[in-house]
Amino acid sequence: MNTIVRSAIHLDQHPAMSSEVLASSALPTGFLFLVDDDTGRVIEPVLLYLMDRFLIRHGNTRPNTLRATVYNLKDWWAFLAEFAKTWNEVSEDDLRFYRDAMLQTVSPKTHQPYDVGTVRRRLTTVLQFYDWARRAGLFGAIFDSKSTRQIVRSMDHDALAHLHANPVQRTTSDLLPLPRRGADDDVRPLTETEYRTVAHCLGPLPPGSTQSGDDCRPTLDRLIAEIALHTGMRRDEISSLNLWQILDLRPDASQPFGVAKLRLSKTKGLRPRVVFMPNWLVTALHWYIDHERKDALHAAKKQSQLKEPSALFLNGIHTGRHVGKPIQNGSIDAHFRQALFAAGLTYTVHKTDPETGKAYTTQEPRHVFHDLRHTFATWLYWFEKSLGNAEPWKKIQARLGHTALATTTNLYLRAVTDFEAQVSDTTMKFFEAMRHG
């Protein structure tokens, strides 16, 4: 069975849908589900689960979470097909076999062993699906009760216990592989020198901005990076910005390092928050709207793309048939990756071709776009410390939009300690120009 992901357009016209599902399948356009590519039949238990989780209970598709859930279940269904297993006749041994197979397999995407975090996320999705199926009366077995038990842990073993809303209870699963030690292992802030180097490779700032010059390259990629660095916004939040959110900001030209408040609603978890954008950056974005964005729209109209998108950032005039369309997250990642290679910010990685088993080495970038958010948090911490703020974590928590303070401290505590050795007088002067109100 070859399982594929489909996007809902007119699901009521799908020939293989049962009447029961059709009766309750008012799916929004773009809603993802699984289809057996051999028979054309929709995988109904998965569709029902997705509908219940994302439409009935939450009332919102939450596209990123939906996509991750669908692709995790697609991988599980591929596993079932490979070993001729029926989805509702599996056991805990099957789940353990699935887990162990991933831990011992080279990813066809990265040519490296699957990351433990990836295995945990996939298996968690599968466990959540089966828990729903059991409650819905579609699946009879109850997996090991320890897989959903709450573990009571002494507060003495948690240095941050006083920060937790419920400091002694944790949810765990014996079926999940142990997480990699140190959640902050993935926090890789850029140093001042690294950012200056990669920023130059991304492109110039608009004329009249700080650090602008005679560089005639497009400013799009640089502006996107500057937003992440100065506000801590996630990539998805940046690509979701619309034109009017920026045009409605009124920067004070006499205070270039003052800030304008920008309210975000399209955030992770859909929790609105306010970010503070430097006035000079708002002015630079206004220039982008009046020049590069306008040029992109003009080129798009020549290609008969008459409807103007509301998105702030559009593909530029060098993108051919994609000109004038809203920039996609994949493009943001790709352009930042290219800049890192151009800046020489790479390291050697050992990989294995899963088809031939042949080992080889390649160069990979030292950072990803999300590291700009980590850089914002780390730099802000040290700037606040330099001002004598004894509790910088609270400001960082608010700026990043974390619900719990422990999320912020657990993520960045070691990172800011390691970064301390790189803080110099020159760096602190750079922080001064990066201050956030």
Write down the pTM of the prediction.
0.68
Instruction: Name the DSSP letter for residue 259.
Output: E
Residue listed under structure tokens 């699984």: 34
Give SS3 for 48: helix
Domain ranges of the chain: 3-141, 192-365, 371-432
What's the confidence (pLDDT) of residue 2?
62
Give me the CATH topology for the region 192-365: hpI Integrase; Chain A (1.10.443)
What's the confidence (pLDDT) of residue 157?
36
What are the distances in angstroms from CA 9 to CA 37, 69, 196? 17, 19, 45
**Residues paired with 375 in a beta bridge:** none
**Residues paired with 276 in a beta bridge:** 261
Please name which of 386, 432, 378, 424 lies closest in space to residue 210, comparing C-alpha atoms: 432
- Which uninterrupted H or E stretch holds 414? helix 405-419
Parallel, antiparallel, or unpaired for β 3-7 and 32-36?
Answer: antiparallel
Please name which of 240, 275, 229 lies closest in space to residue 367, comparing C-alpha atoms: 229
In terms of Cβ atoms closer than 10 Å to its own Cβ (0-12, 13-18, 19+), residue 285 is: buried
Please name which of 271, 313, 279 lies closest in space to residue 401, comparing C-alpha atoms: 271
Sign of dihedral through CA atoms 279, 281, 285, 291? positive
**Spatial separation of the C-alpha atoms in residues 231 and 292, rounded to whole Å:** 22
Q: To 10 degrees, the CA torsion angle through 56, 60, 62, 67?
A: 50
Per-10-residue mean pLDDT of the chain, 437 residues long, equals 58 45 61 84 90 78 84 92 90 90 84 86 92 90 55 37 39 68 64 92 84 78 96 94 94 88 80 90 96 94 81 93 92 96 94 85 93 91 83 88 84 75 58 51
CB hemisphere CA count around 367 (13 angstroms): 28
Residue 390 tokens, joined: 């004894």
